[in-house]
Amino acid sequence: MSDAKWSETLSFRLGTLGALIADQYAAALAVHDLKPKHVGLLGVLDAGLATSQLEIAKLMRVAPSLVVSLADHLESMGAIERLRDPADRRRQTLTLTDDGRDLLAECTAKALALDAELTADLTSSQQAALTAALGRLATSYGLPGRD
């Protein structure tokens, strides 16, 4: 049995830091009337990873009804458009508008500012190591990231 305390485990620390950072990011996005999952949807569309609401739901690991709700909000803002799939008229595809790209860029800038604040006490080599390690963990769980 290990002498490590529960508060020293990677799982606890990543979970706790993740919750705190997610709250900070959500607060930064509130000025745009957005939540992090809205930005996730914009990012999926920007990266060309999926276009149908069902594909997006699977990729984001959320219920299709949530994607519909997120898309409704983003569409009302002019950030995305819904189009009928010419190959299957029953299916709608989502596309990012120019306003959506601008909005995603603003949200990315907020995330980068939060990143800078988060890593301010780390050396550049520690920042690079953290980025690499988190990227590897993300890809091992099927999330976007770098190896």
Q: Which residue has the tokens 């769980």?
A: 141
**What pTM, to 2 d.p., does this model score?**
0.86
Q: 63: how many CB neighbours lie within 10 A of its CB?
A: 10
Rounded to 10 degrees, what is the CA torsion of 53, 57, 63, 65?
Answer: -20
Domains of the chain (ranges, CATH numbers): 8-140 (1.10.10.10)
Q: What is the pLDDT of residues 128-144, one digit of tens each?
A: 999 999 999 989 988 77
| First-residue to last-residue Cα distance in the chain | 32
Rounded distance, CA 40 to CA 44, Å? 6
Q: What is the pLDDT of residues 7-54, one digit of tens each?
A: 889 999 999 999 999 999 999 999 999 999 999 999 999 999 888 999
| Contact yes or no for 71/80 (Cβ under 8 A) | yes
**β-pair partners for 94:** 82
Rounded distance, CA 75 to CA 131, Å? 33
Q: Which amino acid is at 122?
A: L
